[in-house]
């Protein structure tokens, strides 16, 4: 069978060998826990605890602040120290609940609401919402909103995004190796919501073992198919993934549901499984700590809210002083300037690089080699858009489909002149998006 | 933490290929053609090559000195000088060769804004400049062993030519254009390293072949067609000149259009023009049409119907 893929994309050094064979290790936080009230797209959650309250792991400490919002749960037991603005990875100050960890890790009683067979569609979506589940691949869009399209009958495909195309990241991979049954069962729960849908497990072909496992687990199951995708960044991008799996195309103005698709990340699907089957709300996730500056690159099951500093220490700290620390992968992650910031529901990785190759490169003039056009999955002309952005030519930017850029970073990666193409386009897009909101 | 961390916007990694490495690859890929030229035309050909490269680099250096902006480290001046030399006859007076390089770098490239801003291929523009200014010196292909007309001119005059010699390159012509084999070895280097792709060369050569077959008056005559393909600057032009990044369309569809246009123009010049050659002029004219070609071949953004775009 021909490999499923999309047009464009790049093949960066994937760096996954550093941590892909390291089993997921549980770590328990020792220090204070910080829960930013805004860890997702949409309205911030509203705190429902006050200073001095004792909380338990799994206890709701903030409720959803609207339809597009989710609650937040404590991940340790302890006392609420204060509710104040705290620094988060992006550098913003976000109102956060700070909990003094008592290191007892007492949990609230967790039990499934009812056997799966007795749950209606509304029940399942309600559980997902009340468990605080958001897209855990990085975007942080509330999952219950994604699962509530206008017309559930019109959904043909529920796609489990198992691509993990971002270099260095292995958290999804370990999840699939260690708990494949939860991924499949989670996907089956989602399929209950969409009567006419087929489930697709979309895995990049560099994870051959996962493809084999999933194939043998779903053999003879008419509801679920496993699709092997060509290994290429950004194969796990929503638009690219939908196209590779179904041949359907969406642009920036459309939602996956417009073409009958719902896409969820592996970790999100496992969170759904745990919420529905075990009554376990979202307060843990898998984080990869990796990079050539880290002593023991590995994968951790962390309690959301613990600081990056603690996770780093669990991985043995730095071997060499890194030049750059990134929250997330090298293509989409944020550069961090401080380690003492909390992990959130969307923290996929901590990547520490001894050499910052970008800083060493001097941008030169565009030689019009066309490589950015070649790799752009959005089928736009990045060099032209960057020119428009540089000269603040808003009209030209919009006319040449600047808003179709998905900010994947392929153009910046490939550019031989080392122009910051993605960065230029991104800043212009931000301005345009802000204008649209007005 | 003792040292400050680097902060920048994502992505945080870059590919290893750079402007400099691309130019270096092109220079390497031109080595077989240059080497064969020296073997074929003697050490004087090597001298022309050196003079062209040196004067190209020096011109860019001096221009940079005036503007306090040094750009010679990207090696693009070396490529321009080398390409120009390969497009000159070995017998050309050295001052003419140097003048050509100065014209290419100063007038065509630097005055329009330097690397990436020139709208014509500098080497070809300089060749055409020399061709118009010094027609005799530029077509003086007398070289020991080979006399007078190039095979292409002989072909146009209706004479028989030795195709094997044309493929190997034992013929008269400019320094770098005679050996089809040497050029194709270089082209393979460029293709395998991903510096160029086949879109332009293939559409150029194919459309030229079709044009010659239809209008050449020889019908489907393999010998005539091979002579047309192997002769003159077609191979050098198709793989090294037409594929010049700066002066070819950046859009994929546009590259096919560009290639086909060049094929037809070369055919017209060769068959119906006064001279036997046509590649240089065809590419130069093609260069001028690039902005137009790009405009009409802008790709359709992912997820839109053909021609559709964001209306907001």
B219 has pLDDT over 70: yes
| Confidence at residue B249, expressed as pLDDT on a 0 to 100 scale | 95
Q: Do A436 and B312 touch (CB under 8 A)?
A: yes
| Confidence at residue B311, expressed as pLDDT on a 0 to 100 scale | 43
Chain B partners within 8 Å of A368 (Cβ): 116, 245-246, 248, 250
Q: Mention every residue, 6+ apart, whose C-beta is less than 8 A from residue B205.
A: B229, B234, B238, B263
Counting DSSP H helices and E strands in chain A, the numbers are 13, 17
B117 has pLDDT over 50: yes
A224 has pLDDT over 90: yes
CB-based contact (8 Å) between A414 and chain B?
yes
Distance from CA of A314 to the nearest CA of B (A): 17
| Confidence at residue B288, expressed as pLDDT on a 0 to 100 scale | 95
Q: What is the pLDDT averaged over residues A141-154?
A: 92
Between CA A412 and CA A313 the distance in angstroms is 32
Between CA B153 and CA B164 the distance in angstroms is 17
Q: Do B310 and A401 touch (CB under 8 A)?
A: yes
B152 has pLDDT over 90: no
CB-based contact (8 Å) between A11 and chain B?
no
Q: Do A378 and B302 touch (CB under 8 A)?
A: yes
Report the residue of B3, B7, B13, B304 to disrupt the A interface, i.e. the one with the largest count of A CBs within 10 Å: B13
Report the residue of A320, A338, A359, A365 to disrupt the B interface, i.e. the one with the largest count of B CBs within 10 Å: A365
| Confidence at residue B307, expressed as pLDDT on a 0 to 100 scale | 58
Q: What is the pLDDT averaged over residues A157-179?
A: 94
CB-based contact (8 Å) between A394 and chain B?
no
Q: Do A367 and B22 touch (CB under 8 A)?
A: yes
Q: Which helix (H) or strand (E) holds B61?
A: helix B43-67
CB-based contact (8 Å) between B132 and chain A?
no
| Confidence at residue A113, expressed as pLDDT on a 0 to 100 scale | 86
What residue ranges define each of the domains in chain A, with the CATH number in brackets?
112-278 (3.40.50.11540), 371-437 (no CATH)
**What would the pLDDT profile of B159-209 be if each residue is shown by its tens digit?**
888 888 888 888 888 999 989 999 999 999 999 999 999 999 999 999 999
Contact A401, A395 (CB under 8 A): no
What residue ranges define each of the domains in chain B, with the CATH number in brackets?
19-294 (1.10.3430)
Between A325, A417, A423, which is nearest B9 by CB?
A: A423
Between CA A381 and CA A373 the distance in angstroms is 5
Between CA B107 and CA B14 the distance in angstroms is 34
Between CA A362 and CA A359 the distance in angstroms is 8
pLDDT cut 90: percent of chain B above it: 67
B145 has pLDDT over 70: no
Contact A356, B34 (CB under 8 A): no
A324 has pLDDT over 70: yes
Q: What is the ipTM of this complex?
A: 0.89
Q: In what order do the strands lie in the sheet with A334-336?
A: A25-26, A298-303, A284-290, A349-353, A324-327, A334-336
Per-position b or e across A202-238, b if 16+ CB within 10 A of its CB: bbbbbbeebbebbeebbeeeeebbbbbbbbbbbbbbb
Chain B partners within 8 Å of A254 (Cβ): 303
pLDDT cut 70: percent of chain B above it: 95
Dihedrals φ, ψ of A343, to 5°? -75, 150
Instruction: Provide the token pair at B129.
Output: 């400049």
B147 has pLDDT over 60: no
| Confidence at residue B5, expressed as pLDDT on a 0 to 100 scale | 85
A353 has pLDDT over 90: yes
**What would the pLDDT profile of A396-414 be if each residue is shown by its tens digit?**
999 999 999 999 999 999 9
B144 has pLDDT over 80: no
A158 forms bridges with which residues in the sheet? Answer: A199, A262
Between A335, A367, A436, which is nearest B12 by CB?
A: A335
Supply the pTM of this predicted model.
Answer: 0.91
CB-based contact (8 Å) between B119 and chain A?
no
A360 has pLDDT over 60: yes
Contact A29, A303 (CB under 8 A): yes
CB-based contact (8 Å) between B129 and chain A?
no
| Confidence at residue B62, expressed as pLDDT on a 0 to 100 scale | 95
Q: Do A364 and B115 touch (CB under 8 A)?
A: yes
Q: Do B303 and A254 touch (CB under 8 A)?
A: yes
Q: How do beta strands A72-73 and A60-63 pair?
A: antiparallel
CB-based contact (8 Å) between B150 and chain A?
no
**In terms of C-beta density within 10 A (0-12 exposed, 13-18 middle, 19 or more buried), how is residue A176 classed?**
buried
| Confidence at residue B185, expressed as pLDDT on a 0 to 100 scale | 96
| Confidence at residue B141, expressed as pLDDT on a 0 to 100 scale | 78
Q: A residues 269-328 near B, CB within 8 Å?
A: 321-326, 328
């Amino acid at each position: 069978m021909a490999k499923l893929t999309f047009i464009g994309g790049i093949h960066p050094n994937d760096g996954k060998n550093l941590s892909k064979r390291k089993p997921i290790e549980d770590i328990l936080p020792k220090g204070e826990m910080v829960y930013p009230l805004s860890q997702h797209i949409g309205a911030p959650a509203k705190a429902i605890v006050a200073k001095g309250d004792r909380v338990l792991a799994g206890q709701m400490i903030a409720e959803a602040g609207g339809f597009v919002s989710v609650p937040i749960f404590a991940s340790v037991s302890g006392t609420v120290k204060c509710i104040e603005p705290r620094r988060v990875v992006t550098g913003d100050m976000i109102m956060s609940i700070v909990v003094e960890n008592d290191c007892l890790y007492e949990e609230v009683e967790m039990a499934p609401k009812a056997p799966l067979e007795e749950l209606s569609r509304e029940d399942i979506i309600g559980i997902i919402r009340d468990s605080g589940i958001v897209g855990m691949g990085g975007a942080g869009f509330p999952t219950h909103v994604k699962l509530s399209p206008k017309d559930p009958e019109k959904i043909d495909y529920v796609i489990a995004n198992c691509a993990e195309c971002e270099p260095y990241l292995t958290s999804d991979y370990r999840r699939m190796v260690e708990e494949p049954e939860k991924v499949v069962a989670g996907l089956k729960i989602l399929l209950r919501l969409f009567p006419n849908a087929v489930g697709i497990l979309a895995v990049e072909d560099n994870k051959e073992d996962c493809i084999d496992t999933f194939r043998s687990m779903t053999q003879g199951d008419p509801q679920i198919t496993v699709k092997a995708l060509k290994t290429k960044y950004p194969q796990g991008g929503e638009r690219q993934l939908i196209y590779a799996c179904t041949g359907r195309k969406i642009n920036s103005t459309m939602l996956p549901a417009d073409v009958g698709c719902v896409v969820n990340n592996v970790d999100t699907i496992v969170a759904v499984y745990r919420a529905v089957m075990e009554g376990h709300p979202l307060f843990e996730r898998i984080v990869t700590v990796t990079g050539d500056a880290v002593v023991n690159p590995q994968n951790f099951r962390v309690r959301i809210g613990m600081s990056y500093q603690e996770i780093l220490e669990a991985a043995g700290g730095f071997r060499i002083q890194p030049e750059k620390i990134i929250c997330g992968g090298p293509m989409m992650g944020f550069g961090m300037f401080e380690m003492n910031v909390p992990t959130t529901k969307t923290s996929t990785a901590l990547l520490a690089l001894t050499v910052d190759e970008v800083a060493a490169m001097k941008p030169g003039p565009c030689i019009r080699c066309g490589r950015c056009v070649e790799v752009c999955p959005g089928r736009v002309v990045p060099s032209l858009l960057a020119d428009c952005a540089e000269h603040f030519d808003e009209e030209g930017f919009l006319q040449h489909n600047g808003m179709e850029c998905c900010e994947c970073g392929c153009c910046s990666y490939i550019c031989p002149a080392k122009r910051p193409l993605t960065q230029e386009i991104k800043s212009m897009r931000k301005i345009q998006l802000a204008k649209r909101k007005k | 933490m003792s040292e400050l961390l680097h902060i920048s916007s994502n992505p945080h990694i870059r590919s290893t290929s750079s402007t400099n490495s691309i130019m270096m690859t092109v220079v390497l890929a031109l080595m077989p053609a240059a080497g064969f030229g020296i073997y074929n035309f003697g050490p004087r050909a090597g001298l022309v090559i050196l003079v062209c490269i040196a004067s190209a680099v020096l011109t860019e250096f001096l221009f940079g000195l005036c503007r306090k902006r040094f750009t010679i480290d990207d090696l693009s001046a070396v490529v321009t000088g080398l390409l120009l030399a390969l497009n000159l006859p070995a017998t050309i007076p050295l001052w003419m060769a140097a003048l050509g390089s100065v014209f290419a770098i100063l007038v065509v490239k630097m005055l329009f804004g330097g690397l990436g801003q020139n709208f014509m291929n500098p080497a070809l523009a300089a060749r055409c400049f020399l061709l118009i200014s010094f027609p005799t010196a530029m077509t003086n292909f007398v070289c020991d062993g080979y006399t007078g007309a190039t095979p292409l001119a002989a072909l146009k005059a209706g004479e028989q030519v030795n195709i094997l010699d044309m493929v190997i390159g034992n013929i008269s012509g400019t320094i770098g254009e005679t050996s089809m084999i040497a050029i194709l070895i270089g082209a393979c280097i460029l293709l395998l390293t991903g510096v160029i792709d086949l879109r332009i060369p293939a559409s150029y050569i194919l459309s030229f072949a079709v044009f010659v077959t239809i209008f050449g008056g020889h019908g489907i005559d393999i010998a005539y067609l091979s002579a047309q393909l192997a002769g003159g600057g077609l191979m050098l032009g198709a793989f090294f000149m037409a594929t010049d990044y700066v002066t070819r369309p950046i859009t994929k569809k546009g590259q096919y259009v560009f290639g086909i246009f060049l094929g037809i123009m070369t055919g017209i010049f060769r068959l119906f023009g006064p001279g036997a050659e046509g590649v240089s002029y065809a590419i130069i004219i093609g260069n001028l049409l690039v902005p137009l070609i790009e405009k009409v071949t802008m790709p359709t953004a992912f997820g839109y119907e053909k021609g559709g775009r964001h209306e907001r």
